[in-house]
Structure formats: C-alpha cells, structure tokens
Chain A
C-alpha cells in the first residue's frame, strides 16, 4: 500500500472510530501499535514503555473525535505518544542536561571489528544497553526531538508539528539532544571500558 493510500485508509478508520466504531479503532491499534511502543521505548526505556503505550491508546480513543485530518494520522499519533511520554517524565525534564566538562572533545572509539561491519557492531547487545542508558541522560524534550529525527526519520517541520513548537526550536532541541547524547554515550563507553579493564 502506498503512503497516500495508507494515509487515506487511516483517515477513514479514524473517522469511523470517532463515531464509536471499535472495529475501526482495533484496526488502527493493530496498524500503529509498533510505532507507539517503539517511540515510548526509546523515550522512556523498557520499564515504562508498556504502561505508557496503553495510556496512549486510551487517550487516542478518548480524543479521536478531535482528530480533524489536517495532518496525517501518524503525526497526530506521534504527538499523543510524545506528550504522554513527556508527562511521564515531567519531573525528569526539569533535570539539567548532561553537561560537558572535559578538556578534550568527546571521542567515541570505533567498535571492535572496525568499519567492516559497523551495523553489526552498532546492534550488539552491549551497544543497545549503552544507547538506551545514554538516551536516559538527555533532557526529555531534547531526547524526544532526537528520537523523532534520528530514529524515526521525521523532518524538522514534522517534529515541530508533533512537539507543537516552532521549527527553530525543534532544530535546537535536536542539536542539543545530539550533543548531549554523544557526551553521555562516550561516558557510558568509558565506564564499560573501565569495567572490562578492572
């Protein structure tokens, strides 16, 4: 199915669901549950992702009458998902960003195995844990922007729409999140290296 067809199909299902058609809602859940869970997992981590995903779908059902179809259903869903995740992390969002206090610029060494198979190295279980841990050190709004940009592949215009901020703010949040993420990832990597050496 093309993206235009998919979008039209989502709109039609959303309209039916807004009239109380649970079967249409069930199809939307089946179709998009991966998106919701994936984003919640990246923003909140494994422990909170399931509860947050359930809360997202409760909010979708409750508010589907407000979906006007001005944007794609997936954009509207991203917005509810990110808002739900940010409300879970509201306290944490006041926490200051990971500061960079080092004298030298952070450096992330090449994974074992070198550039021959960067994807395999990137997907090792240790790397996954490091990435998730490093994401946890990035301020919640910046983390959400970073996830939407570099893991979900959204444009800045889409990110701005999802986060309900101007384009420039979305760009700034991604930029800050990217830098904070690298600093945190280097620290995680150093910690692991020290653990292995010790």
Chain B
C-alpha cells in the first residue's frame, strides 16, 4: 500500500497536470470528478491556476541582460580571436624559420621556392 504522504503527493501532481491542461480523456474526467466532489481538491486546482498565471506573466515580462554581460562576452571573444590569430601567425613564422634553417643546413634537398 502506498504511504499517505506519497498518495497526497501523487494527487498534488495529478491536479497540477490537470490545471496545466495536460490531462486528456479518461484521466482528465477522473480528476474533474474528484475536483467536483472534494472542496480541498477544488481549492488546490484554483491555487495551481493562480500560480501558473503568475509564472506565465513573469515569464512574459521582457528581461534585458545588463550591458556588462554583453560587453564582457564580446570583449572575451575579441581577445580570444586575437590570440588565435597571433598563435597562427607565430606558428607560421616559426615553421618558416624552421624550414629555412633545415634548408640552410642542407638536411633537405627541396628548393626553398617550393620546387623540388
């Protein structure tokens, strides 16, 4: 047998689902019947309806992010992009120097102009 607390919690969730319009068919009719018969369930359904209006209303309010968030995000991206470019640039120079050095030492027969 289900403990009383669990039963009550299950009913709490079922009526919540009904108030949110998420029950259909037989299940919805069962809950409607319970709400009709029991004033405490009716009050619970009304409470849910009030809470859902509050959440939706608050959710529909426009919220703007602080300028600091936008500035920080963009600044970080610029710095990161600059570092990437700098890394690529330094990497390319390093590779060129290495190629030149290898060619200078005669360790590779390739022409430095790219021919063979």
Residue ranges of A at the interface with B (Cβ–Cβ < 8 Å):
20, 22, 25-26, 29-30, 33-34, 36-38, 41-42, 50, 53-54, 57-58, 60-62, 99-101, 104-108, 110-111, 118-119, 122-123, 127-128, 131, 146-147, 150-153, 175-176, 178-179, 181-183, 185-186
Contacts and interface: CB of A to CB of B under 8 A. Distances in A.
Main SS of chain B's interface residues? helix
A54 B69 CA distance: 6
The size bracket of the interface on B is 35 or more
B81 A100 contact: no
A37 B69 contact: yes
Contacts of A99: 5
Contacts of B48: 178, 182
A150 B13 CA distance: 15
B28 interface: no
Given A29-B74, A34-B65, A53-B65, A118 B50 contact: yes
A26 B58 contact: no
A151 B76 contact: no
B16 A131 contact: no
Interface string B62-92: 1111101110111011101100110000000
B63 to A, nearest CB: 4
B65 A151 contact: no
Contact of B59 (A53, A153, A181): A153
A30 to B, nearest CB: 7
Given A100-B12, A107-B47, A151-B55, A178 B20 contact: yes
A34 B59 contact: no
A196 to B, nearest CB: 19
A61 B77 contact: yes
In this complex, which of B51, B64, B76 has the most chain A Cβ atoms within 10 angstroms of its Cβ? B51
Nearest to B43: A107
Contacts of B12: 100, 105-106, 179, 182-183
B56 interface: yes
A30 B53 CA distance: 29
B69 A176 contact: no
Contacts of A50: 66, 68-69
Contact of A123 (B9, B44, B51, B57): B57
Given A58-B73, A127-B54, A108 B13 contact: no
B85 to A, nearest CB: 8
In this complex, which of A119, A146, A153 has the most chain B Cβ atoms within 10 angstroms of its Cβ? A119
B54 A122 contact: yes
A94 B78 CA distance: 38
A182 B47 contact: yes
Contacts of B55: 131, 146, 150-151, 181
Nearest to A30: B70
